[in-house]
Structure 1
Amino acid sequence: TTSEAWVLNAETPQAPFVCLAPRVEGHEYFPDHGQLDGAWCWFIRTNQDGINFALYYAPATEVPGREQWQALVPHREAVMLEGLSLNAGALTLSLREGGLPIIEVRPQGLAAYRVELPDAAYSLYVQDSLEFASPRLRLRYEALNRPAQVRQLELASGAQVVLKQTPVLGAFDADDYVSERLWATAADGTQVPISLVRRRQDLGQTVPLYLYGYGAYGESLDPWFSHARLSLLQRGVAFAIAHVRGGGELGEAWYRAGKQAHKHNTFSDFIACAEHLVAQGVTAPDRLAISGGSAGGLLIGAVLNLRPELFRCAVAEVPFVDVLNTMLDPDLPLTVTEYDEWGNPEEPEVYARIKAYAPYENVKAQAYPAMLVVAGYNDSRVQYWEAAKWVARLRTRKTDDNLLLFKTEMGAGHGGMSGRYQGLKDVALEYAFVFGELGIA
């Protein structure tokens, strides 16, 4: 939450480094060095004006103090400035607005424009720009229905050319699937984005659906293409991502609205997304599978306690479900550094808050959906015993006869087993469970 940068002229490598701006609690800034109207200058992305960052510049003849910084791109409440790419002929801004990544190009001497893209929900970022004087830039683009592409952008005109696309073996046409952006209304009236992909032939029909969520650490779950996911889509299973608060899809405020005292928003947002998909006729509770891993596993555990009847089955991978007891143990590797995210339960108010939503503490004597829980024996982030304790309590208290499977990968860490083929086997297990519960061959 606080940063400090020290700089050195590469032509005088023996000189001492100089501090660009001394650290101030809560002030984050990220400097770069490039040209503006043909003159060399510093560019500083800073949150001194607001949480979504602004862009300043300063002369490069010296190391400027903060009093010399001049505003170039002001702070905006609805637009997150995530980064910038410097080029001799243009300044390229990486923005986040309306839950989507936006590339805004400001060519020198020409009008600014935003890069146009073919899908309603997508992932987009500027690839490493290694040629400062080039009139072109490389972009990486993908969508739920479109494999990853490398696109070449002409900075002056905005013209694009697809240079490379990740191949898909077998018969595949991206236009056979429709990528959509929906908006659910949360309990407090907040609009929550949903990214959805389904077969074009299924539009207007109620189909099985796989809903994924995370909602922590300000991470943005921008839509991504998956070859394995075609196994779902080709069988008529739609796939959706709930971009709940706690993530970063709508900027820093979206993240802060789903952490610490506001963590309950993450869970109610996910439920609102599921309810919206049902209300719109996209799916039905008896055809709805949900999934999440790590902090997303905490999300799955919490919503299962709150609304078990809304889902047919659930997958929880390395789930952070024993959050209260873990955060009470400062000897675990990540506990102390995680206080910024969850709070310190040694404080009575924080203890009560975490206990109110922690999945393990809130398992009830009620019917739960069918569940597949996967842990890693060598996981140093979420220890395997969290999932084991949770499953044991579920087996003791749940009142249904639905399947509850628990698998501990004895050679896996937080990211699962090593190797391409083992990763495919992990997905195959998950999909086989989901297909079995949804009655899909």
Structure 2
Amino acid sequence: MTVHDTPAAASAPIADSRPIVRTHHGDDVEDRYEWFRAKEDAAVIAHLEAENAYTDSRTAHLAGLRERIFEEIKGRTLETDLSVPTRRGDWWYYGRTVEGEQYGIQCRAPLASPDDWTPPELSPDVDVPGEQVLLDSNLEAEGHEFFSLGSFEVSTDGRLMLYGVDVAGDERYTLRVRDLTTGAQLPDVIEGTFAGATFSPDGRFIVYTTVDDAWRPDTVWLHELGTPVDSDEKLYHEPDERYWVGAGFTRSDRYLVIEIGSSITSEEWLLDADDLRGEPRVVWPRAEGVEYESAHAVIDGEDMLFILHNEGALDFELVRVAASDPTGDRSVVIPHQPGHRLLGVSTFRDWGVVGYRRGGLPRLGMLDYASGAVSEIEFDEPLYSVGTGGNPEWAPPLLRLGYGSFVTPGTVFDYDVATGERLQRKRQPVLGGYDPDDYAQARVWATAQDGTQIPISLVWKRSFGDAGAAPRPVHLYGYGSYEHSIEPGLSIARLSELDRGVLFAVAHVRGGGEMGRQWYEDGKLLSKRNTFTDFVDCARHLIDNGYTTPTQLVAEGGSAGGLLMGAVANLAPELFAGILAVVPFVDALTTVLDPSLPLTVIEWDEWGDPLHNPDVYAYMKSYSPYENVRTDASYPRILAVTSLNDTRVLYVEPAKWVARLREVGADALLKCEMVAGHGGVSGRYNSWRERAFELAWLLDTLGVADA
């Protein structure tokens, strides 16, 4: 049964038209649905609830499919499981999940000896000697519809734990401290913090960040345990609304680094960790358009900084400077190489690790301090992702890595730096007889309108034939903003599509970072349209080369990728059977014109400043989905998913967009989670059900709902 056969148990909500006129640069724009922004207005809530009821009615026939997909996700997931322990101080730290429980449990167990670097092999059925449960998020979440942990850390001596909790979805966290020796809660409670609070190395202080009215992290604070919060000291405040701030200690525990950044400019200040009330000193003074990050190392007894920067180096360069004089002589460690995008550097006592991109894939290399040589850690698969993770210790003999591909489950390795051996510690279990050899992955290239070659990643189940041998249902995903790359990775939920014959594809469009910094530059500001036309060209490539047909193609994107979805719906509606837009940034011009809204001023470096620049205004108006809904188009089916408490992309954007689409006769649905944030609902079972809802709609649109 398709949606068109479903009896209409409810009529599509038709919102009141309450026109207001917005004028910028001599241009008058009438907006009939801006009144949706009044979140506290009972009429707005009633409209969102009516949209939810309509969506429930229109998708009621998919209830069985949704339940099957949910059970498939659940059935492939090892619900009671443990993470690979990470060593810090005298303890192994790890997480547990328990069947039937929504949230994780943070635990630790003592080391067998100071020389113990091999993590214990944990089994859900075997008690861990000396285990301590540090935080059971299931208990903390009791009585709340939403729960998110934004900060979690144990002090260096292992005695105290801090944790920050959000129970609304607005990403404002209440910070608390617990004594792990006695189990007592300390009186220190800090409201309204940003994520990522941390202890000082000596455990006397907490460093945390707060946000301004526009939800911009703007101030770094120092709280001394046992003192009133209202006496906390302001370590740094950033008045410029284009910049955000953050703070964290170097792995060596030598410095607190205060980071200030925009999309195009960064600055760092250092404070000695043993004198946090001292005067911070700048690493490099900010210079418009120069981005950098530093990492501390001790070489031949001298404090040094490795600095990754893009001053005169589009794809970045790595240099080494004296920490006592960072603006002094620079020693080039890795020179700039066009197309070889340096991503980051991590330093340890005896060696470093460099992350970079080459050939559209992330890579890791070991950095020898003495010679400056970089030795790449090699992997066999043609498509994969790799990164460091869980490496808090300053002088380990092993480097913890995370690895995966579209067909290989997420895998944890310890890399033995001395021997080059990779020690597999865990591979994500996929139950139900999953065999990676049953699936295939490949990369093909589409030609953009200007001749640029756009990579497309493909993954499919082999039993349905080779990709491109015959048209089949295709799920095409895209993002294309903020230099964010969509990396290869296995998704358990995605198997429910692949096993029904769907080919999953990722269009690595410009605006992302897959092919280096220029790839990003060519998809932002006044080149943003490349992101949208690249995606359309990828869709056409898949159609023209026999992978699929327009009636078998559904597109998906979220957040800034939701802007992409709205734009391609207007540009080429005839290419798609459906479009899934998750927390979509579809009223971009209205948002970026208003500096009082969350993160708007920061966003000007990404999109341009339409408030003060008429050329940017005209350009954004030419592509912003809400302003460009067409009366002459036959739109594909559209499902927009949002959350009432989202602070990154406000619910009002998809709500207005769907109302406008409905004016022109589009088959558009809106699903609004009433207690959730940008990441959707909280809790793994809730998240699985949410994804099952989306996939059921997607499969129904592709015509394989009953497969």
TM-score (norm 2): 0.59
Runs of 4+ in 1 over 4 A off after TM superposition: 8-16, 35-40, 107-112
Q: Secondary structure at the match of 1:66?
A: coil
Partners of 2:576 and 2:636 within 8 A in 1 = yes
Partners of 1:293 and 1:316 within 8 A in 2 = yes
Higher relative contact order (CA 8 A, sep 6+): 2
Give the match for residue 311 of structure 2. 48
Larger radius of gyration: 2
Q: Which of these residues, 652, 660, 673, is aligned with residue 409 of structure 1?
A: 673
Give the match for residue 243 of structure 1. 508
Partners of 1:34 and 1:43 within 8 A in 2 = yes
1:168-223 deviation line (CA, Å, top 9, x unaligned): 12110112111222222211111212221111222134321111111112212112
Shift of 1:133: 3.6
Measured in 1, the distance between the counterparts of 2:453 and 2:299 equals: 38
Matches within 5 A, 1:184-195: 184-195=446-457
Give the match for residue 536 of structure 2. 271
Give the match for residue 629 of structure 2. 363
Q: Which of these residues, 163, 168, 190, is aligned with residue 425 of structure 2?
A: 163
Partners of 2:483 and 2:511 within 8 A in 1 = yes
Q: Secondary structure at the match of 1:67?
A: coil
Q: Secondary structure at the match of 1:72?
A: strand
Gaps of 5+ in 1: none
Partners of 1:304 and 1:368 within 8 A in 2 = yes
Measured in 1, the distance between the counterparts of 2:367 and 2:545 equals: 40
Aligned length: 436
Of residues 126-135 and 248-257 in structure 1, the stretch that sits farther from structure 2 once superposed is 126-135
Of residues 210-219 and 250-259 in structure 1, the stretch that sits farther from structure 2 once superposed is 250-259
Counterpart amino acid of 2:287? V
Measured in 2, the distance between the counterparts of 1:133 and 1:13 equals: 24
Q: Which of these residues, 299, 302, 310, is aligned with residue 564 of structure 2?
A: 299
Shift of 1:86: 2.3
Q: Secondary structure at the match of 2:328?
A: helix
Partners of 1:106 and 1:112 within 8 A in 2 = yes
Of residues 9-18 and 89-98 in structure 1, the stretch that sits farther from structure 2 once superposed is 9-18
Matches within 5 A, 1:274-423: 274-346=539-611, 347-364=613-630, 365-398=632-665, 403-423=667-687
Partners of 1:107 and 1:156 within 8 A in 2 = no
Measured in 1, the distance between the counterparts of 2:271 and 2:590 equals: 46
Gaps of 5+ in 2: 1-263
Counterpart amino acid of 2:622? A
Partners of 1:119 and 1:179 within 8 A in 2 = no
1:370-397 deviation line (CA, Å, top 9, x unaligned): 1112222222322222212222222222
Judging changes above 3 Å, is the alpha-carbon distance between structure 1 residues 3 and 329 closer, same or farther for their aligned structure 2 residues? closer
TM-score (norm 1): 0.92
Partners of 1:94 and 1:125 within 8 A in 2 = yes
Counterpart amino acid of 1:285? P
1:382-419 deviation line (CA, Å, top 9, x unaligned): 22222122222222224x7xx43222222222221222
1:301-329 deviation line (CA, Å, top 9, x unaligned): 11111111111111111211111222222
Judging changes above 3 Å, is the alpha-carbon distance between structure 1 residues 37 and 276 closer, same or farther for their aligned structure 2 residues? farther
Q: Which of these residues, 340, 365, 387, is aligned with residue 104 of structure 1?
A: 365
Q: Secondary structure at the match of 1:184?
A: strand
Asked if 1:428 is matched to 2:702, the reply is: no
Partners of 2:321 and 2:328 within 8 A in 1 = no
% identical aligned pairs: 47
Partners of 2:639 and 2:669 within 8 A in 1 = yes
Give the match for residue 29 of structure 1. 292
Give the match for residue 438 of structure 1. 702
Of residues 418-427 and 69-78 in structure 1, the stretch that sits farther from structure 2 once superposed is 418-427
Counterpart amino acid of 2:448? A
Partners of 1:302 and 1:358 within 8 A in 2 = yes
Matches within 5 A, 1:71-82: 71-82=332-343
How large is the Cα RMSD of the aligned pairs?
A: 2.2
Partners of 2:305 and 2:326 within 8 A in 1 = no
Judging changes above 3 Å, is the alpha-carbon distance between structure 1 residues 216 and 112 closer, same or farther for their aligned structure 2 residues? closer
Measured in 2, the distance between the counterparts of 1:21 and 1:150 equals: 36
Q: Secondary structure at the match of 2:267?
A: coil
Q: Which of these residues, 141, 155, 159, is aligned with residue 403 of structure 2?
A: 141
Partners of 2:341 and 2:356 within 8 A in 1 = yes
Q: Secondary structure at the match of 1:4?
A: strand
Measured in 2, the distance between the counterparts of 1:21 and 1:103 equals: 26
Judging changes above 3 Å, is the alpha-carbon distance between structure 1 residues 360 and 87 closer, same or farther for their aligned structure 2 residues? same
Of residues 276-285 and 259-268 in structure 1, the stretch that sits farther from structure 2 once superposed is 276-285
Partners of 1:196 and 1:241 within 8 A in 2 = yes
Give the match for residue 118 of structure 1. 380
Partners of 2:481 and 2:524 within 8 A in 1 = yes
Counterpart amino acid of 2:535? F
Partners of 1:153 and 1:160 within 8 A in 2 = yes
Of residues 128-137 and 352-361 in structure 1, the stretch that sits farther from structure 2 once superposed is 128-137
Q: Secondary structure at the match of 2:296?
A: strand
Partners of 1:207 and 1:237 within 8 A in 2 = yes
1:14-36 deviation line (CA, Å, top 9, x unaligned): 76443332222222222222255
Give the match for residue 217 of structure 1. 482
Of residues 293-302 and 203-212 in structure 1, the stretch that sits farther from structure 2 once superposed is 203-212
Measured in 1, the distance between the counterparts of 2:598 and 2:370 equals: 52
Of residues 139-148 and 80-89 in structure 1, the stretch that sits farther from structure 2 once superposed is 80-89
Shift of 1:361: 1.4
Q: Secondary structure at the match of 2:686?
A: helix
